Chain A
Amino acid sequence: DTGVSQDPRHKITKRGQNVTFRCDPISEHNRLYWYRQTLGQGPEFLTYFQNEAQLEKSRLLSDRFSAERPKGSFSTLEIQRTEQGDSAMYLCASSSADRVFSPLHFGNGTRLTVT
């Protein structure tokens, strides 16, 4: 168990560019979540997958955001036409749907700065 890993750790981009982040969950976990965290706030839910199916998306999620988990393992989160308001820490977490009361296990996040 190597934990949840996210790549890159930091991303600086200019406004209007597209960015893509990757998350590799704990291998036996079938649920994968994306959260956004801004300074002084708790994680804000964006979307989650069970296996390869995207089961829920936040109503707050702009259509510039898209996430995939094509083979039910790693996931990518893409932000198109980035805006300065997208600057935040993007956290990925995984859990097991097969274990009752399974907590979330978080990666170290990708910090996005849009200039």
Chain B
Amino acid sequence: GNSVTQMEGPVTLSEEAFLTINCTYTATGYPSLFWYVQYPGEGLQLLLKATKADDKGSNKGFEATYRKETTSFHLEKGSVQVSDSAVYFCAHNTGNQFYFGTGTSLTVIP
């Protein structure tokens, strides 16, 4: 089947710490992979994407690499800021459908 499993939160980090949020997926076919971010009271915003194996998506200091052999797409950032506090969703797109993880809440404290 199709699903996304991501690291459970909440995650609390100090400013400038290193962030990793794990994401693995199961998919029929060859999916595109995405990370979305959701700030309080808002909809989801696309953070980054990767469309084929070994592609690296990056945006605003965040990175994730499409690893087909491990079916993973872990999100990383070298130095988080207070403004990165949000909920992060991993997702994949197979055919016309998008499948989302349950989200990982990140709080960055000064």
Contacts and interface: CB of A to CB of B under 8 A. Distances in A.
Interface string A73-113: 00000000000000000010100010011011111110000
B43 A4 contact: yes
B17 interface: no
Nearest to B98: A104
B43 A40 contact: no
Contacts of A100: 51
13 contacts: A33-B98, A41-B103, A42-B101, A43-B100, A45-B98, A48-B96, A56-B97, A91-B44, A103-B32, A103-B34, A106-B44, A108-B42, A109-B43
A100 B4 CA distance: 21
What class of interface size applies to chain A in its complex with B? 20 to 34
Interface in A34-50: 40-43, 45, 48, 50
A6 B51 CA distance: 29
Main secondary structure of the interface of B (DSSP, over half): strand
Nearest to A89: B43
Contact of B51 (A50, A101, A105, A106): A101
Interface string B17-37: 000000000000000101010
A56 to B, nearest CB: 7
Nearest to B90: A42
Contacts of B98: 33, 45, 104
Nearest to B9: A40
Contact of A91 (B34, B43, B102, B103): B43
